[in-house]
Amino acid sequence: MTENHKFQLGTIGALSLSVVSSVSIVICNKALISTLGFTFATTLTSWHLLVTFCSLHVALSMNLFEHKPFDATAVMGFGILNGISIGLLNLSLGFNSVGFYQMTKLAIIPCTVLLETLFFRKKFSRNIQLSLAILLLGVGIATVTDLQLNLLGSVLSLLAVITTCVAQIMTNTIQKKFKVSSTQLLYQSCPYQSITLFIVGPFLDGLLTNLNVFAFKYTPQVLFFIVLSCLISVTVNFSTFLVIGKTSPVTYQVLGHLKTCLVLAFGYGLLHDQFSWRNIMGILIAVVGMVLYSYYCTVESQQQKASESSAQLPQVKESESDPLIIADKGSEILSESDPKTPAWNLKRDLDA
């Protein structure tokens, strides 16, 4: 099996794992929050990250992955920023209507595209832009209902969008720059994310719910769903870093909107939530946008690989025509004629 096929199978596996785990945890948390009344989302997220770190620490002790320390300042800043972005998203939901919160989530994709274009000189073709527009239109139709604006909520939403975009771009950039895997990055950043949310979580939850997380009545049923949610979160957090590392922040956001559509469909099919033809039409349009996005990403990735391969051929032939160069620099020619292209060069886009 070629490296290309292995990478494609790895990417498909990461995307599938992300979808399944995210939909599962949404269903679990819906039962925990809506049915059992445990509405402390930020504190719950801090527990998720703590359990994730403990799980990775056990995996490290079993030599399932290699610990690779790198720039401590970058890890700390990245972890704290991730924690802040989660807190801001929860505040945005608390101080805005559900419709405006959905618009906030939709704004993450164009904001990510803008930041990558301005600071990383990344180019997005018209086909990619069109497919993203179709996707956003479909998700907007399916999820956005009312748009009640207020100054505080709007400021919080803006900050949430910016911090989320920067954190997801950093996830992809750090893995490339320091050549670390998603597991290695998650293991080192988890403590900072968990501590950040553990400190601010009870305060934010109290502000949003007027309840005390420490005074909540933890019945056996509540504890069961909390433990289940924390266990599923290990897979969610791992797959998030894995997807962004293998693809891009924009692709991860596209995947996130697919999850939203799947959760809506699941709620209608099994939980008998309220559903309308508007929801159905929006989901179908979003799926069309997602399929187009995947298709154009695949085509452009193949074209990029073909152009890179054709550009390398003249260099090899030129070297072979001079036996003196081959004798003096055989190792250099070998390395150029058989390049080991890092997996993250094979894109997409595509993170989100």
Hey, which of 7-11, 99-103, 156-160, 302-306 has the most confident mean pLDDT? 156-160
d(CA 289, CA 127): 11
Q: Look at residues 229, 93, 48, 255 and name the one whose alpha carbon lies nearest to residue 168.
A: 255
Q: Can you tell me the mean pLDDT for 56-82?
A: 90
Span 217-253, pLDDT tens digits? 999 999 999 999 999 999 888 887 877 777 777 877 7
Tokens at residue 70, please? 């790198």
d(CA 44, CA 201): 8
Higher pLDDT pick, 180 / 275: 180
Structure confidence at residue 260 as a pLDDT band (50, 70, 90): confident
C-beta of residue 129 within 8 angstroms of C-beta of residue 272: no
Residue type, 181: S
DSSP class per residue in 66-108: ------HHHHHHHHHHHHHHHHHHHHHHHHS-HHHHHHHHHHH
Span 14-65, pLDDT tens digits? 777 877 888 788 788 888 988 888 999 999 999 999 999 999 999 899 888 8
The predicted model scores a pTM of: 0.72
Residue type, 47: W
The pLDDT value given to residue 344:
35
Q: Look at residues 166, 168, 305 and name the one whose alpha carbon lies nearest to residue 248.
A: 168
DSSP class per residue in 9-48: HHHHHHHHHHHHHHHHHHHHHHIIIIIT----HHHHHHHH
Higher pLDDT pick, 163 / 139: 163
